[in-house]
Amino acid sequence: MIRVAALALTGAWAPLTLLPAQAPTAKLSGQGILIYTAVDPIPGGGMLGEARLVQPILMLDLGASRGRLLLHTSANFEGWTMPNGELTPGAWGEGYIDRRHPHTYVHELMLSLPDLLGQLDGAARTTFSAGKGFVPFGTDDPMSRPVERFPVNHHLSQLLERAVAIVAVEAGPATVEASLFNGDEPTSPSDWPDLSRFGDSWAVRLTLRPGSGLEWQASTALVHSPEHPGGAGPDARKWSSSLLADRPIGSARFYGLAEWARTSEAEGAFVFHSVLLEAALTTGRHHPYYRFERTERPEETRTFDDPFRTVRPPLDNSLLGITRWSIHTAGYGVRLGTPARRLTLEPFVEVSFGQIATVGEGFFDPVAVYGSDTFRAVSIGLWLDWGMRGHRMGRYGVPMDMPGMPMQMSSRAR
């Protein structure tokens, strides 16, 4: 009934010594969470508890030519620390179900050319980015948000670890990003994008910042055959919209996210919806947070020897139905150490309870699979961060923080 989170990979800020006006810069940072989680019930019924080291990340950011050349790299070691995934009720994707899959070792490797054309009378800035990383679609990676447990809608609301080329134009409070990428998603931690499929998928995102600490985004994407590497699977048409707030309230700091997402597959034969609300308050050393999510997910044929894995690539008749997961998650953390130090240590406790319901027709029965249509999860953790605060994963060459937010609430919104 517990979950223990901790381990951060150390980092340090190390500007290189050349001419002051043109000095390249390098920033190394990291984090990790050692965690024990208990879930009741799991597929097949009964309770299961597991300890894992999750989100062990090492990041290196390099800058040169007075900030006109940026290289962002991110290494993720979950393939070593959680090769069978993280116990997460409702999670799905990349052949895992009710477990969050490990991300690829090379999580990000992106080169950006900010202000590529030079500002036109100060009105606009154009940035080109390319490499392996996040597609400009949907909301921020859950890894940089308050709740440790990933939401069910991760594969509805984010597109990551693709070979992607992005053009972003920033004009005042508005940013438009357009991209081409490969549709196939990873199948293992060591997987690389299939470059022969580059350009078979696209995404566009509009972001508006109407005021200090406020941000609205709307995005759409067409993903070709995401679950079949050979390109023989159905396409996914995706939409997302969200409103993000991150601003001071007196001596405290408030973070809030309202998100809507919709994915349509096989020309509308299957449609999945998601609504998510989450909030966090940071006051002194204390950090309570809460999330409500209602998300629909596909129920696919599971493998014979592991109820947490699904058949890959999926068969034409592998979809057994659609379920709707309604989940409440609440947590509380206490920061140790001083804000002035790069090292942050925070023990926390997190609990979830939810309900599973079938949507429309199908052959999937939650009670037959889990023994119940409700579930509970309890976690206790210790989270350790070294210099990752302020980083929003998936934004390349455009403002990483919203106006008025020198310390954006990332790395679990601390």
**pLDDT tens by residue, 279-296:** 999 999 999 999 999 999
- Give the model's confidence band at 388: pLDDT under 50 very low, under 70 low, under 90 confident, else very high: confident
Look at residue 1 and tell me if it is in a domain.
Answer: no
Please give the pLDDT value at position 313. 76
- Is residue 220 predicted with pLDDT exceeding 50? yes
Q: What is the mean pLDDT of residues 165-174?
A: 94
Please give the pLDDT value at position 394. 80
- Give the model's confidence band at 68: pLDDT under 50 very low, under 70 low, under 90 confident, else very high: confident
Look at residue 16 and tell me if it is in a domain.
Answer: no
Look at residue 403 and tell me if it is in a domain.
Answer: no
* Structural tokens at position 355: 């309900």
* Structural tokens at position 61: 């950011």
Look at residue 8 and tell me if it is in a domain.
Answer: no
Look at residue 5 and tell me if it is in a domain.
Answer: no
CATH for 65: 2.40.160.10
Name the nearest CA neighbour of 107 among 151, 158, 157: 158
Look at residue 163 and tell me if it is in a domain.
Answer: yes
- Give the model's confidence band at 16: pLDDT under 50 very low, under 70 low, under 90 confident, else very high: very low
Name the nearest CA neighbour of 207 among 297, 291, 140, 150: 140
Query: How many Cβ atoms sit within 10 Å of the Cβ of residue 316?
Result: 8
**pLDDT tens by residue, 23-47:** 688 989 999 999 999 999 999 999 9
d(CA 163, CA 399): 22
Report the chain's C-alpha Rg in angstroms.
21
User: Containing domain of residue 353, as a range?
Assistant: 27-386
**pLDDT tens by residue, 79-118:** 999 999 999 999 999 999 999 999 999 999 999 998 777 6
Domains: count for the chain: 1
